[in-house]
Amino acid sequence: MHKKTPDGHELNPETLALNLGYDPKLSEGSIKPPVFLTSTFQFNSAEDGKRFFEVAYGIREKDPHESLGLIYSRINNPNLQIFEERLAAWDATECAAVFASGMAAISTTFFALVRPGDVVLSTSPVYGGTHYFFHKILPQFGIEVHLVPAGNDAAKALAAKAKEVGEKKVKAIYIETPANPSNILTDIKACSELAAKLTKSTKRKVLTVIDNTFLGPLFQRPALLGADLMVYSATKFIGGHSDLVAGVVTGPANLIDPIKGFRTILGTVATPFTGWLLLRSLETLSIRMRRQAKTARKIAQFLNEHPKVTNVYYPGLLKSGDPQHEIYKRQCLGPGSLVSFDVKGGEKGAFKVLNSFKVCRLAVSLGGTESLVEHPMTMTHSDVPKAELEAINVSPGMIRMSVGIEHEADLIHDLEQALK
């Protein structure tokens, strides 16, 4: 199926997630794409093999309507290609590349597009693995990363930091929004505009890269706000069942092609079975994320009125007049389903609550069908310096909850009894 019906009606991502890029006629009429568990593909002729390799290794430009022929599953595989086409449609971008993990997607993207001597500017906080990659790995390749606080003033701070380090060196602006765990929002459009301005003044492309794991692709579509690349941990909402590890990058062909070239050689691609699981997951992405957000809103309201809870961090609770609410209105189509909250009694109080849940499971990760709770300060954010934690509102009493698809009454009952 194509993106438009024969009479020109444009299909929505929810519909495309069931149909795009797969022709049952090529697979015995199977309604679902089979899992193509094969390492290699048979060529129809030696000439075909030669043509496929010319494109794969960039010896020759692709003809306008030519797609890369199937060669070997480190280069491409039908399960991965169908998923990539469907996710790119969801993100309103041309292309996507799927990886063995979110970290594989993020690291391969930087290795493909950033060079020694370049500087990367990033908002802080970022995901722990990304933080490690920025501070311990990229410097070994002569690439510096400078952080500025996420939030209302991030675009201004990034502009100032660019001046400080030398605008000509800046190659990429990296943003994680909402930021983990306190859901701080950074203005994607303002940061994309800054990158465009720097591109113009320095005469070389400055990329805007968004970690869209928390709200995308359903509730946040950064490409429509001027961002170049969206990176995802597909382990989270896209996979959605806590049963796989994967990552994706989406964006225009001129950026995704070199990233795929690096993926082929670094071997950071996902397996065909992971591709198949991701295809299954994409079909229910919209109903899962909407249901999770609906329940999360109820939970945030419940927590907000609970006497033992001192603060609730959830985009759905932002009030008009708050600059964060302005950003929310501009770029978010929904509040998502991560709710962080502070309980009285510091770490001891938080642990007591965490150890009392009967339905919610005590585990890191997020975005799955089951509700998970964790303690950011001693778990996901345990290696972040204390001063930085304070700057992002992480206190010893903070609990982060990833709201699943259980019945809302059961989750509220579970919170009620745990807070007792």
> Which residues of the chain form contacts with ligand PLP (CB under 6 A)?
101-103, 127, 129-130, 176, 180, 211, 213, 233, 235-236, 245, 247
Q: Residues in the chain, how many? A: 420
Taking the complex as a whole, the smallest distance from the CB of residue 167 to ligand PLP amounts, in Å, to: 27
Q: Which CB, 70 or 372, lies closer to ligand PLP? A: 372
Q: Which CB, 248 or 343, lies closer to ligand PLP? A: 248
Q: Which CB, 102 or 222, lies closer to ligand PLP? A: 102
Q: Which CB, 36 or 214, lies closer to ligand PLP? A: 214
Taking the complex as a whole, the smallest distance from the CB of residue 197 to ligand PLP amounts, in Å, to: 27
- Spatial CB neighbours of 49, under 8 Å, sequence gap ≥ 6: 43, 71
Which of 77, 135, 90, 86 lies closest to 110, judged by CA?
A: 135
Taking the complex as a whole, the smallest distance from the CB of residue 234 to ligand PLP amounts, in Å, to: 7
**Residues 401, 72: Cα–Cα separation, whole Å:** 41
Q: Which CB, 101 or 395, lies closer to ligand PLP? A: 101
Taking the complex as a whole, the smallest distance from the CB of residue 133 to ligand PLP amounts, in Å, to: 10
Alpha-carbon distance values, 379 to 156, 351, 375 (Å): 31, 12, 6
End-to-end CA distance of the chain: 53
**Partners of residue 146 on adjacent β-strands:** 121
* CB-nearest residue to ligand PLP: 102
Q: What burial letters (b/e) apply to 272-311, b meaning 16+ CB within 10 Å?
A: bebbbbbbebbebbbebbebbbbbbbebbebbeeeebbee
Tell me which H or E stretch contains 285: helix 285-304
Gyration radius of the chain's alpha carbons? 22
Taking the complex as a whole, the smallest distance from the CB of residue 136 to ligand PLP amounts, in Å, to: 15
Q: Which CB, 52 or 182, lies closer to ligand PLP? A: 182
Q: Which CB, 70 or 231, lies closer to ligand PLP? A: 231
Taking the complex as a whole, the smallest distance from the CB of residue 188 to ligand PLP amounts, in Å, to: 15
Alpha-carbon distance values, 201 to 74, 172, 197, 204, 393 (Å): 39, 15, 6, 8, 36
Report whether the peptide linkage leading into residue 6 is cis, meaning its omega lies within 30 degrees of zero: no
Strands 95-99, 247-251: parallel, antiparallel or unpaired by DSSP?
Answer: antiparallel
Q: Which CB, 130 or 271, lies closer to ligand PLP? A: 130
Taking the complex as a whole, the smallest distance from the CB of residue 181 to ligand PLP amounts, in Å, to: 10
18 Rama sector, left if φ>0, alpha if ψ -120 to 50, beta otherwise? alpha
Which of 242, 180, 232, 213 lies closest to 369, judged by CA?
A: 242
E strand map for 46-198: 95-99, 119-124, 144-149, 170-176
**Does residue 317 sit in helix, strand or coil?**
helix
Q: Which CB, 198 or 233, lies closer to ligand PLP? A: 233
Query: Other CB atoms closer than 10 Å to residue 413's CB: what's the count?
Result: 13
Taking the complex as a whole, the smallest distance from the CB of residue 246 to ligand PLP amounts, in Å, to: 6
Q: Which CB, 70 or 250, lies closer to ligand PLP? A: 250
Q: Which CB, 69 or 178, lies closer to ligand PLP? A: 178
Taking the complex as a whole, the smallest distance from the CB of residue 163 to ligand PLP amounts, in Å, to: 28
- DSSP secondary-structure letter at 219? S
Taking the complex as a whole, the smallest distance from the CB of residue 99 to ligand PLP amounts, in Å, to: 8
**Residues 72, 52: Cα–Cα separation, whole Å:** 11
Taking the complex as a whole, the smallest distance from the CB of residue 106 to ligand PLP amounts, in Å, to: 6
